[in-house]
Amino acid sequence: MTNDLNNGAAAGGSFFSVTYEIARSGYETLLINGKYIHSKFKPETDSENIVFPGTCIIAIYGLGLAYHVNNIAISNPDSIIIVYEPLLDVFNHTKELLKQFPAGKNVFIINNFDTNYILDLLDSVFPYSFLRLKTYTHIGYRNINTECETIFFENISKAYKTIVQNIMTEANFIPLWFKNTVYNFSFLKKSSIVTITHSCNQDDIAVICGAGPTLDDSISFLRYYREKLTIFATDTALLPLSEAGIVPDVVVCLDGQQWSIEDFVTQFSSDTVFLFDILGLPAIQHYNENIVYTSHSYKKNSFQDWMFKSINCKSGLINTGGTVTDYCLDIAVKAGFKNIVFAGYDMSFPGNKTHARGTPYHKRVVNNSNYFLTISDQFLKSISQRNPVYEKNNSGKLLFTDFVMSNYRSYLENYIAMFKDIHFYSASDEAVRIEGVTYINPDDFFSSVSSVKRVMCYEKIAINSGDISILFEKLSASLFIYSTKLSDILNSINWDSLTNELLASINSLMDEIFTLYPFLNSFNIMTDIILDGKGIDCLSVLYAKHKSFRLLQSIYFVIRTLQKAANR
């Protein structure tokens, strides 16, 4: 069978003759422009025994008939494989075949090398642990559209670096998030985990209030049209709104850091629903009674992932691109709003400022200012320490932003693109332009709508606090046993004369612990990244030494945290 086709952008506009034959072993084989891509004798043995050390992201250029993909997947069972096929005919012919292969569950086949597409894919499959990136070009594809091959590997490398950068940032918060999650689960006698339900009509409007500088300009219309609007406020926007006499309907908190308590030092209206992520700061419970918990879409191998599976809790997970404003947005979407307006979500620094007036950060800047250190100087100093990027607003004006916020914008655009039946608006022309968002004049827009503010609705998920206590007790006891085993081994060995048998026993024990409690990987992310940067692979003695000591420290931290939570 022969098909001449023009695969467009994927094939660089070239024509390729694609032929399928039956090999001597009885399996189908593939020819492109008369050249055998797989063996004409035994294609099913293609790329057997190719093993990449450790758990990796393996990027493969060339799908062919997927024999090599299946064999690499079998030889690397814990790795995640992303395969790019430049020829659409081959892609369509083969993509269903991997479903028949036993190793297909961690294999993702794509025909799109757009950076954002690859970034979304990587983000969805990347666990809370460090994975090395390995690239592999099938030998039969080495002269098939080399430009396409280069772009694919460049884009997957860019996406990988972005994911790793995000993981490195989050790695600093893993102990804090673990502690907060444990304490908040312990508080479930007083509060609940909830699932968001529909709470509005078709024409109702939700306003998502961030704490960006343009929130100052939004206060007037928020106050004037208050009865038409259901206001979702991020935690940092709460004080500016409250000081302006605006009581939000919903306040959302994703931040678990200690200074977030500054947003909640005042008692607020009992009409406001406080939706806290399960990893939010537990101490805020003492300031407000009307608090319920939600959970964001946690990554595989996170403690939240392990915890929810252990108690068989299927909560309505909230999507977030890393900011609390995204979290607010997804809650509004899940509540059924079809008209959503952003206010104070700038993703830039309008007027060379970072925050709206009245936020705790802005107040600190004002209090620290003097003749020699002005408010503007402090904002400029904060901005200058970021990784600078320029983006355009709706009028085409260049705005100063940074690498992190530029990533947030990309996430938001991809999120908005999923909802064709929802209208998204921005109340400020000074914010970064977001594809899919319409820019409005607030007075013209709100004066012409018949929206009514709504009360937030949710369903409580039944969780027995006694079951949580028992789970924590069992976890603590099990980890104590493993810590004793690991400590005994580490105290008895001489690293300078370590035998292969003893090295194998250390690695085997660590594998057993990580298999039972995969969230412990998240405590070791920075160790993995540092060792990888020094070229130390997972088979070396030095790797086992650093990894095992770090694992033991992590276990001790987890046990101490569980014990403290039990005594609160």
Each residue of 311-360: pLDDT tens digit? 887 766 787 767 888 889 999 999 999 999 999 998 888 888 888 888 88
pLDDT at 456: 82
Helix (H, G, I), strand (E, B) or coil at 429: coil
pLDDT at residue 1 in the model:
37
pLDDT given at position 4: 35
Identify the pLDDT of residue 103.
52
- Domain range summary for the chain, segments of one domain joined by +: 18-166, 188-460, 465-567
What's the CATH number of domain 188-460, 3.30.70, 3.40.50, 3.20.20, 3.90.1480? Answer: 3.90.1480
Give DSSP secondary structure letters for 1-19. Answer: -EEEEE-GGGGTT-EEEEE
| Cβ contact 391:401 at 8 Å | yes
**Residue 231 contacts residue 310 (beta carbons within 8 Å):** no
Among 61-75, 266-280, 459-473, 511-525, which is the least confidently predicted range? 266-280
| pLDDT classification of 400: cutoffs 50, 70, 90 | confident
pLDDT bucket at 494, cuts 50 / 70 / 90? confident
Q: Is pLDDT of 47 > 50?
A: yes
Task: Give the pLDDT confidence of 424-477 residue by residue, as tens digits.
Answer: 999 988 888 888 999 999 999 999 888 888 888 888 887 887 888 999 999 999
Contact between 91 and 110 (Cβ < 8 Å): no
H or E element, residue 506: helix 500-516
Residue 243 has pLDDT above 50, yes or no: yes
Q: How many H helices and E strands in the chain?
A: 17, 20
pLDDT band (50, 70, 90) for residue 102: low
Euclidean distance between CA atoms 7 and 212, whole angstroms: 45
Architecture of domain 18-166: 3-Layer(aba) Sandwich (3.40)
State the chain's mean pLDDT as an integer: 84
pLDDT of residue 426: 92
Question: What's residue 83's pLDDT?
Answer: 92
Structure tokens at 487: 């400590």
Burial of 23 (0-12, 13-18, 19+ CB in 10 A): middle
User: What tens digit of pLDDT does each residue of 213-242 get?
Assistant: 999 999 999 999 999 999 999 988 988 998
pLDDT on residue 13? 42
Residue 555 pLDDT > 80 = yes
Q: Would you state the pLDDT for residue 8?
A: 36
The answer to whether residue 30 scores a pLDDT higher than 80 is yes
Average pLDDT, stretch 132-161?
Answer: 90
User: Would you place residue 2 in the very low, low, confident or very high pLDDT band (cuts 50, 70, 90)?
Assistant: very low
When pLDDT is cut at 50, 70 and 90, the band that residue 99 belongs to is low
Position 88 confidence tier, pLDDT thresholds 50, 70, 90: confident
Angstrom CA distances, 7 to 15, 181, 371, stand at 7, 50, 65
In whole angstroms, give the CA distance from residue 103 to residue 51.
14
Half-sphere exposure of 46 (CA within 13 A, CB side): 27
